[in-house]
Amino acid sequence: MAAPPPAQQGLAQLYQLYRQVLRVHRTKLPGPLRSLGDSYVKGEVRRHLKGKTTPQQWREFQGQWAAYVSMLSGRADADEAHGSVRPLHDAEGALNEEQREQLQRLKDAALELGGEGRGGADGGSSGGGCGIATKP
């Protein structure tokens, strides 16, 4: 029997990955999160199948979902060490300077809000907002 065409091989790999995601959801996630996760991955796969996805986008898509399965399975550290998946936490490296500055402002605002909520005598926030718009 002849080997299937590359497009069919890619679909077979995608369906195998999809089944792996559903399987890890079934074993690792509680009911409500499992339902949410299953519907999310189903929608993502459908959008990529129906859209005009380039080969580079397919590789990225499959790599990220493989990393997700690895993370939920508890194999993430070992897989990263062997180079078999790209770390999920590497997203900050892909940001441009403006995006990094915005992320830092959001982090600062979150820390500021978290500190005010725990440190005040009344347990509430004394400020009128998160301070994102007022910082330079």
18 neighbors 41 (Cβ within 8 angstroms):
yes
Q: pLDDT tens for residues 63-111? A: 899 989 988 888 645 555 555 555 545 566 777 889 888 889 988 888 8
Is the overall model pTM greater than 0.75, yes or no?
Answer: no
Mean pLDDT value across the chain: 74
The reply to whether 13 and 53 lie within a common domain is yes
Of residues 127 and 110, more confidently modeled: 110
Shared domain check, 132 and 84 = no
23 and 86 co-located in one domain = yes
CB 78 within 8 A of CB 29: no
- Alpha helices (runs of H) in the chain, residue ranges in sequence order: 6-28, 31-50, 55-73, 76-82, 97-119
Q: Give the domain extent around 111.
A: 95-136
At residue 93, what is the residue type? G
Q: Are residues 56 and 123 in the same domain?
A: no
User: How many domains, the chain?
Assistant: 2
Whether 135 and 77 share a structural domain? no
1 inside domain = no
For residue 24, the model assigns a pLDDT of 92
Residues 21 and 80 in one domain: yes
Cα(84)–Cα(67) distance, integer angstroms? 9
Asked if 19 and 84 sit in the same domain, the reply is: yes
Q: Which tens digit of pLDDT belongs to each residue from 22-76?
A: 999 998 888 888 999 999 999 999 888 887 888 888 888 888 999 899 888 886 4
pLDDT, tens only, 8-19:
667 888 889 999
Shared-domain flag, residues 88 and 66: yes
